[in-house]
Amino acid sequence: MTTDIHGAPAASSEPAGLGVAVVGGGYWGPNLVRNFQASESFELRWMCDLRIERAQRALGRYSTVTATDDYARVLADPQVAAVAIATPAATHRDLALAALRAGKHVLVEKPLAAGYAEGRELVEAAEERGLILMCDHTYCYTPAVTYIRDLIASGELGDLHFLDSVRINLGLVQPDVDVLWDLAPHDLSILDFILPPGMAPLSVAAHGADPIGAGRACVGYLTLNLTGGAIAHFHVNWLSPSKVRTTMIGGSKRTLLWDDLNPTQRIAVFDRGVDLTPPAQLSEQTRREMQISYRSGDMVAPALAEREALRTMVEAFATAINTGTPPPTDGRAGLRVVDILESASRSLELDGAPVALQGTKGTSS
């Protein structure tokens, strides 16, 4: 099914991987280059950047891959089956649309697009052509997030009660977007990825502050109401010299704590949930013990592989192309994240009033 996209099979008898081009040699591009090169599923053919010396630097001095500043040449290459776009969000729509129109599968860095309407345009363009549109929600391919999704799917956490996430980055104030658009896509894509079927965000309330006069929110809080009365809350923050990346997920049976900066114990699953016995019926001894205890119930910290998420993501992209099946973080997932971000911006303007989402999960276009 994807053969007409690949063009004619390579003359060589050995099966070549999918021809791929990386666009954008900034911060993330070199990581894509490295991982496409390491994958047997792909054959990296181009590294494209408007500034060709950036493209060259991304490849290094010992590479057989071609650097170019001419996107048209990349799209014209019949050996290129897929394009990976790692440029600023504002350019996603045009670059991705051109690639889709040229019959290429597309991988886009997060966020999918600079707005909901643009994102929907991409989703529709890909679906019309039967092409894969994937959003590089990298975190969803970490062993930790995969573990969390599986644990929730298995029912071991029980019903989801709350999710609380904190992401504090090293004080790098972005010039064009606020802290919500800069950092929350990571966490919102994770939420989207791990929620069990039938559960979805309904509305979002956003609070922000710009105490340093940067001209946009540097500290942000998102509160999402989910189906079933659960709550998800996100704290994103630029104003700290120290990183924090934790997510707590409370279920009716267990509670999970993910600390991404603790490599020796990224995930801890706590055994017991809340005690619903009214305190009045608890003995004073029990209450006293709960007051001085640090936790109740055992904790299990599963062993997680140390595997590069981007490697897994790249393989998922290949699988999606080769099987014609949407990848776990397809364009629609990217769109749902942009939906929340756009609604959050509206809530910020409304001084924190909750804003209903446009609601795309599980609906067809």
Residues 40-69 interacting with a copy of itself (rule: CB under 8 A):
44, 60-65
202 binding a copy of itself? (CB under 8 A): no
Buried b (16+ CB within 10 A) or exposed e, 320-350: bbeeeebbbbbbbbbbbbbbbbbbbbebbee
**Out of 53, 78, 128, 252, the residue judged to bind a copy of itself by CB under 8 A:** 252
Residues 6+ apart with CB under 8 A from 292: none
Check binding of 290 to a copy of itself (CB under 8 A): yes
In angstroms, give the least distance from the CB of 214 to a copy of itself.
7
Out of 18, 23, 144, 218, the residue judged to bind a copy of itself by CB under 8 A = 218
Size of the site for a copy of itself (CB under 8 A): 97
227 binding a copy of itself? (CB under 8 A): no
The answer to the question of residue 261 lying near a copy of itself (CB under 8 A) is: yes
Least distance (Å) from a copy of itself to the CB of residue 258? 13
Is residue 98 a contact point for a copy of itself (CB under 8 A)?
A: no
Residue 3 sits in the site that holds a copy of itself (CB under 8 A): no
Position 38 contacts a copy of itself (CB under 8 A): yes
Subset of 150-169 contacting a copy of itself (CB under 8 A): 159-162, 164, 168
User: Interface with a copy of itself includes 21 (CB under 8 A)?
Assistant: no
State residue 120 phi and psi, 5-degree precision.
-65, -35
Helices 92-101 and 116-129: crossing angle in degrees, nearest 10, is 10
Task: Specify the amino acid at residue 360.
Answer: T
Distance of CA 274 to the CA centre of its chain: 30
Q: Residue 218 carries which DSSP code?
A: S
Residue choice 15, 197, 198, 229 for contact with a copy of itself (CB under 8 A): 229
302: Cβ contacts below 8 Å, ≥ 6 apart:
147, 267, 269
Minimum CB separation of residue 306 from a copy of itself in Å reads 5
With CB under 8 A as the contact rule, the residue among 287, 323, 362, 365 that binds a copy of itself is 287
What is the smallest separation between the CB atom of 168 and a copy of itself, expressed in angstroms?
8
Q: Which stretch binds a copy of itself (CB under 8 A): 183-191, 202-210, 326-334, 336-344?
A: 202-210
Using the minimum distance from each CB to a copy of itself, give the nearer residue, 34 or 120. 34
Distance CA 11, CA 133 (A): 28
Q: Which is nearer to a copy of itself, 133 or 179 (CB)?
A: 179
285 binds a copy of itself (CB under 8 A): no
Tell me how far, at minimum, the Cβ of 175 lies from a copy of itself, in Å: 5
Binds a copy of itself by CB under 8 A, chosen from 9, 130, 155, 279: 279
Residue 206 host element (H or E) = strand 201-209
Strands 82-85 and 105-109: parallel
Residue 246 region, left (φ>0) first, then alpha (ψ -120 to 50), else beta?
beta
CA dist., res. 183 & res. 185, Å (int): 6
Pick the stretch among 70-78, 116-124, 131-139, 275-283 that binds a copy of itself (CB under 8 A): 275-283
Q: Looking at beta carbons only, is 101 or 288 nearer to a copy of itself?
A: 288
Closer residue to a copy of itself, CB minimum distance, 60 or 130: 60
Q: How do 231-240 and 160-170 pair as beta strands?
A: parallel
* Using rule CB under 8 A, residue 271 touches a copy of itself: yes
Contact (CB, 8 A) for 269 and 295 = no
12 touching a copy of itself, by CB under 8 A: no
Asked whether position 294 contacts a copy of itself by CB under 8 A, the answer is yes
Binding status of residue 280 toward a copy of itself by CB under 8 A = yes
- Kindly report the number of other CB atoms within 10 A of residue 81's CB atom: 27
Q: Is 240 in the site for a copy of itself (CB under 8 A)?
A: yes
How is residue 10 annotated by DSSP?
A: P
Q: How far is CA 2 from the centre of its chain?
A: 26
CA distance to 121, 236, 257, 261, per residue, from 31 (Å): 27, 24, 28, 20
